Amino acid sequence: MSSVALSRLSVRYGKRTVVHEYTETIKPGDWLCLIGPNGAGKSSILRAVAGLAAHTGEINVDGSPLRLRTSRRRAELVAYVPQSPVLPHEMLAFEYVLLGRNPYVSYFGGESAHDRAMVHNVLRRLDLDQFADRELGSLSGGEQQRLVIARALAQEAPILLLDEPTSALDIGHQQQALELVDRLRRENGLTVISAMHDLTLAGLYADRLALLHEGHLVVAGTAAQVLRAETLAEFYGVSVTVHHEPDGTVVVVPRRVS
Amino acid sequence: MALATTSLDTDSRRVSGRNWWLPASIVLLIGAFVLGACIGPAGRISSANWHLIWSVRMPRVALAALVGAMLSIAGASYQGAFRNPLADPYLLGVASGAGLGATIVFVIGRANTNGWLIDPLPLAAFVGGLIAVMFTYMVGAAFGASSSSRSSITLVLAGVAVTSLATAIQTFVLYQNNDVIREVYSWILGRLNTATWQDVRLVAPYIVISSIVLLLHRRQLDLLRVGDDEAASLGMQVGRVRLIVVIAATLGTAAAVSVSGLIGFVGIVVPHAVRMMAGASYKRLLPLTVVLGATFLILTDIPGRVLTHGAETPIGVVTAFFGAPFFIVVLMNKRLAP
């Protein structure tokens, strides 16, 4: 299990600063969910941790800075599931998940028998082994989403970044995907950082929520602390009712304005 | 455990099902070699004119094989590096850039460059081709929406613009230097039909080296199929890999162009035909394009020798005849991803 510490993380695109000095610590095995309206900087934080966005400030994994690692060594620590993954239609599902082994294969080398066995193992755990020989284009959205998670899992990285993992899925597959991530987190001891739009689901699965607005952290804490009607009205400009279920679940229900 | 055995079985079946492609295409290549050596305007060859086979037809067949292999693997590699099914050494402007580079050497004068340690002609063709492809890529990347069919077409249109520009500069330079027009045009049209072992020796090192470099990057090209961001998040240094692949493909193409002249569409036809037959994985695709590209060009070189009496039909005409309709098919078929 690995901890992630972001310290005064800033991301700039040209002259525009999209993340302002964000500081956050994620304990080993925890799930942090970034929430906030579009343009809040959620994706940029994930991209910075994945090494895809230039940034200032420090990102430490287990106390050592991520920037000192080569891209390959970083990929051994951090797996990234983008919001809309590129799925080459003719690539076979097995080949796709095998790409996750790249950090462990030498530049000119080929995947070892261990890499292939590892991919079979991941496919079996995610109940995807019957699709191994199928082309990605022939699979459903839910199956494709599980394959993207399978590829991240084949990476054997202790930190998993998920950018809107459920945005393209129906409610059943949303639950299925998040349950899967939660199960893998417990079984493998993964530390998860996700960005999500569905506030109720975010509160349901994450240990801790961080609400961002225009690149600034507004409030962080448990679902009950962050998901308050006044806060959401102020930063999302939305009118909602917040219910607290007896089991502690926080439910955010939109209200009609008129 | 039962599940494990099933999935391992299907994996090995899939692999073995596609493994016979390479041996089969090598047999095809050998057949093409024999055919290429036996057919020609001089009619059937008897043992008496073994000399004709060895010094006229064999170098021609060998050169066609080298050029065909190179143009095909370069096409497949450009398609992978730019994630664009329409990428081809000619459409990207590599050939015209190489032509411009070569023209400049001819203007300086072959007599003046004779004493140079290294023949500057292939080098100038390489630099010209590289500048052209970099230019095409920058224009295409700047104006194309990312990862859409529009960006594929933008890249090709940028290639058209770069080709026109290079051709215009070349025409201007030639207009100022009338004396080298004949030399330049015989270079552009190529000399496959007058090939000698000397030509083979000149280009073989470039083509062999760039093909090996490209073959060594076939796993990286598979990784690039998921896009720059995801490939980078999987630990790949995308910019460096793309640069190496483009330089290797351009070096080989410039060398091929310097002996074969304008032969279009090989880099489109062969890789896409292989994708249709054997799947889109670059691990299988690249070795197969080398073998089948060589076969393709040896075979397309044959009709030109026998169809018309007297003057031969240039091979570029034959490949365009098959290639242009195929290109339209690729254009229409959205499933053909790089």
ipTM: 0.91
DSSP secondary structure letter of residue A135: B
Spell out the domain ranges in chain B: 49-332
User: Distance (Å, rounded) from C-alpha B325 to C-alpha B327?
Assistant: 5
* Pairing mode, strands A250-254 and A4-13: unpaired
Rounded Cα–Cα distance for residues B311 and A110 (Å): 49
| Cβ contacts of B7 on chain A, cutoff 8 Å | 120, 123-124, 129-130, 132
Sign of the CA dihedral running B186, B190, B195, B201: positive
> Å from B151 to nearest chain A CA?
15
Alpha carbons A233 and A235: distance in angstroms, whole number: 6
Parallel/antiparallel/unpaired status of strands A16-26 and A4-13 = antiparallel
Which residues constitute the domain of residue A106? 4-254
- Of the candidates A71, A79, A108, the beta carbon closest to that of B216 is on A108
Q: State the pLDDT confidence band at A211, using cuts at 50, 70 and 90.
A: very high
Burial class (CB in 10 A: 0-12, 13-18, 19+), A178: buried
Do the Cβ atoms of B222 and A82 come within 8 Å?
no
Collect all residues from A whose CB is shorter than 8 A from any CB in B: 47, 50-52, 70-76, 78-80, 82, 85-92, 94-96, 99-100, 102-103, 105, 107-110, 116, 120, 123-124, 129-130, 132-133, 137, 155
**A75, B235: Cβ pair inside 8 Å?**
yes
**B233 to A51: CB separation less than 8 angstroms, yes or no:** yes
Q: How far is CA B66 from the centre of its chain?
A: 10
Return all residues near B172 (Cβ < 8 A) that are at least 6 apart: none
Q: A157 in helix, strand or coil?
A: coil
What are the chain A neighbours of B280 within 8 Å (beta carbons)?
A: 88, 90-91
Q: Which amino acid is at B102?
A: A
Q: What CATH number is given to the structural domain containing A64? A: 3.40.50.300
First to last CA, chain A: 49
pLDDT at B309: 65
Structure tokens at A83: 């919001």
Record: contact B279-A103, CB cut-off 8 A: no
Residue range A1-15: average pLDDT? 92
Query: How many Å apart are CA A91 and CA A46, to the nearest integer?
Result: 26
Give me the CATH topology for the region B49-332: ABC transporter involved in vitamin B12 uptake, BtuC (1.10.3470)
Q: How far apart are CA B54 and CA B31, in angstroms?
A: 17
- pLDDT recorded at residue B46: 62
**In terms of residues, how long is chain B?**
338
Q: Which residues of A touch B281 (CB under 8 A)?
A: 91-92, 95
Q: pLDDT tens digits for A115-171?
A: 999 999 999 988 899 999 999 999 998 899 999 999 999 999 999 999 998 887 888
- Residue B229: list chain A partners with CB under 8 A: 47, 52, 82
Q: For residues A229 and B157, give the distance between their C-alpha atoms in angstroms, rounded to a whole number.
A: 52
Cβ distance of A82 and B225 shorter than 8 Å: no
A103 contact residues in B (CB cutoff 8 A):
234-235
Number of folded domains that form chain A: 1
pLDDT of chain B, 338 residues: tens digit per residue: 333 333 444 444 444 456 788 888 999 999 998 888 887 766 565 666 777 778 888 898 999 999 999 999 999 999 999 888 888 888 888 888 988 998 898 888 777 777 776 778 878 888 999 999 988 888 877 765 454 555 667 888 888 999 999 999 999 998 888 888 887 877 777 777 778 888 898 889 999 999 999 999 999 999 999 988 999 999 999 889 988 999 999 999 988 888 887 788 899 899 999 998 888 899 999 999 999 999 999 998 888 777 766 667 778 778 888 888 887 887 777 555 55
Nearest CA in chain A to B13: A133
Measured between alpha carbons, how far apart are the two ends of chain B, in Å?
A: 36
Q: Are A203 and A250 in contact (CB under 8 A)?
A: yes
φ, ψ at A89 (rounded to 5°)? -60, -35
Structure tokens at B107: 């203007």
Position B311 scores a pLDDT of 67
